[in-house]
């Protein structure tokens, strides 16, 4: 592998760099004529190069792009192939000859049913949806049919679960892959050149001093954890992104300042991110400025840092932030402004 990556005439090396550039630039994965063996080599070449750099954001971008591309292909696969692919990914998915049918709506006195022809063991299902899908009600157990240790899902839900499994498989692969870093320095330098070309490292990490409104030490545990994950390049869910953006807007940051945080997301597209932040800030659409989720909603969405400590009797992360600011400004850890060690 290392020889292929350092050889200037290696087709695998050239194609790996071309695909990586297409991913970094925000385009779809570049496709070309190649054998399946070459595609495997190209894929592992990309893993080696990105792992050697150690850029978590880039790792998430690679996993996200490949998993979304896989989903596009899965949409066109037959039932038989979906089952085969599921098993190859370590998921015990079963196809039912007689689908479970759930009444959806009534049209002209006729009941329209939705079919759930796939069954997944409950433990397997919970393990997959425990991550990025956990805040999406669509994948909550209360919205599924569960019987005898099996969760019954439709084709769309199954494909989304497979996409998530592929995403995690790729992220796990970064941890497991082993190689001699000293033998791929030339390849790594080429990757860094591509990253520089597209301004990959332009987003500032030192955001604490950009505005007096943002005081990192005053952040409530839930928001602090989300921001740390965001700056670490993780791909946050929709609810997690809303929680961060609405909180930052509410404490006084402008659109450009909030945008700096979101430049760290692996799927960042400035036009889309700017529109969404402006919408939350009340500058678009209904012109309604959105407040952050309250504590109860944060808990229901699994976003409350239950292992941390917070103030008692608070109902919103903004209240925690204001109390923490008061404590910091007073210069004392005691008294009214002190954080009570009360687990929320």
Report which secondary-structure segment, H or E, holds 125: helix 122-129
Enclosing domain of residue 95 = 76-166
Q: What pLDDT sits at residue 73?
A: 94
φ, ψ of residue 27 to 5 degrees: the values are -85, 175
208 in any annotated domain: no
202 in any annotated domain: no
160 in any annotated domain: yes
Q: What pLDDT sits at residue 180?
A: 87
133 with 249, same domain: the answer is no
205 in any annotated domain: no
| Distance between CA atoms of residues 74 and 70, nearest Å | 6
| Distance between CA atoms of residues 264 and 200, nearest Å | 9
Long-range contacts of the stretch 228-234 (C-beta < 8 A, 24+): 230/261, 230/262, 230/264, 230/265, 231/205, 231/207, 231/261, 231/264, 232/56, 232/57, 232/264, 233/55, 233/56, 233/57, 233/58, 233/59, 233/60, 233/61, 233/264, 233/265, 233/266, 234/56, 234/60, 234/266
206 in any annotated domain: no
Q: What pLDDT sits at residue 335?
A: 39
272 with 255, same domain: the answer is yes
63 with 32, same domain: the answer is yes
Of 171, 141, 161, nearest to 85 by C-alpha is: 161
Q: What pLDDT sits at residue 242?
A: 94
Residue labelled with tokens 């157990």: 141
300 with 237, same domain: the answer is yes
Of 221, 197, 222, 232, nearest to 302 by C-alpha is: 222
272 in any annotated domain: yes
Question: What is the mean pLDDT for each group of 10 consecutive residues in the chain (344 residues)?
Answer: 61 91 85 83 92 91 93 94 95 86 64 82 92 80 88 93 95 91 90 91 53 80 91 87 94 90 86 92 88 90 75 85 88 46 31
Tokens representing 6 are 């350092």
Q: What pLDDT sits at residue 216?
A: 87
235 with 275, same domain: the answer is yes
243 in any annotated domain: yes
192 with 220, same domain: the answer is no
44 with 116, same domain: the answer is no
235 with 333, same domain: the answer is yes
Distance of CA 139 to the CA centre of its chain: 16
Structural domain total, the chain: 3
- The CA distances from residue 102 to 95, 119, 279, 302, 344, in Å, are 17, 14, 36, 28, 37
Evaluate whether 316 touches 285 at the Cβ level (below 8 Å).
Answer: no
| Distance between CA atoms of residues 230 and 307, nearest Å | 19
Q: What pLDDT sits at residue 209?
A: 42
207 in any annotated domain: no
Evaluate whether 46 touches 66 at the Cβ level (below 8 Å).
Answer: no
| Cα angle 50-53-55, degrees, rounded to a multiple of 5 | 75
Tokens representing 113 are 């049913």
Tokens representing 145 are 């049919």
Of 204, 231, 223, 227, nearest to 324 by C-alpha is: 223
Q: What pLDDT sits at residue 339?
A: 42
11 with 64, same domain: the answer is yes
257 with 278, same domain: the answer is yes
106 with 36, same domain: the answer is no
25 with 157, same domain: the answer is no
Q: What pLDDT sits at residue 305?
A: 73
Q: Is the pTM of this model over 0.85?
A: no
Evaluate whether 292 touches 317 at the Cβ level (below 8 Å).
Answer: yes
């Amino acid at each position: 592998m290392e020889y292929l990556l350092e050889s200037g005439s290696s087709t695998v090396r050239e194609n790996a760099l071309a695909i990586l550039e297409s991913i970094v630039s925000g385009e779809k994965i570049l496709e070309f004529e190649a054998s399946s063996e070459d595609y495997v080599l190209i894929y592992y070449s990309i893993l080696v190069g990105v792992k050697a750099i150690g850029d978590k954001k880039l790792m998430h971008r690679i996993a996200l792009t490949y998993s979304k591309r896989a989903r596009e292909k899965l949409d066109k696969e037959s039932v038989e192939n979906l089952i085969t692919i599921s098993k190859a990914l370590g998921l015990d998915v079963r196809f039912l000859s007689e689908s479970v049918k759930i009444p959806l709506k009534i049209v002209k006195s006729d009941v329209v049913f939705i079919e759930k022809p796939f069954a997944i063991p409950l433990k397997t299902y919970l393990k997959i949806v425990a991550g990025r899908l956990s805040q999406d009600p669509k994948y909550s157990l209360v919205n599924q049919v569960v019987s005898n240790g099996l969760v019954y899902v439709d084709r769309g839900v199954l494909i989304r679960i497979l996409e998530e499994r592929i995403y995690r498989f790729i992220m796990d692969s970064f941890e497991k892959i082993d190689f001699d870093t000293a033998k791929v320095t030339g390849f790594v330098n080429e990757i860094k050149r591509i990253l520089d070309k597209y301004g990959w490292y332009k987003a500032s990490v030192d955001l604490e001093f950009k505005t007096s409104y943002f005081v990192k030490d005053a952040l409530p545990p839930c928001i602090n954890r989300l921001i740390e994950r965001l700056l670490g390049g993780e791909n946050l869910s929709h609810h997690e992104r809303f929680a961060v953006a609405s909180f930052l807007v509410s404490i006084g940051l402008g659109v450009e300042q909030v945008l700096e945080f979101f430049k760290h997301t692996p799927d960042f597209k400035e036009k889309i991110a700017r529109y969404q932040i402006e919408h939350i800030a009340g500058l678009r659409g209904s012109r309604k400025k959105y407040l952050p989720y309250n504590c109860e909603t944060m808990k229901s969405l699994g976003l409350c840092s239950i292992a941390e400590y917070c103030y008692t009797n608070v109902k919103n992360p903004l209240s925690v932030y204001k109390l923490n600011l008061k404590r910091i400004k007073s210069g004392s850890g005691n008294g009214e402004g002190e954080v009570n060690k009360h687990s929320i």
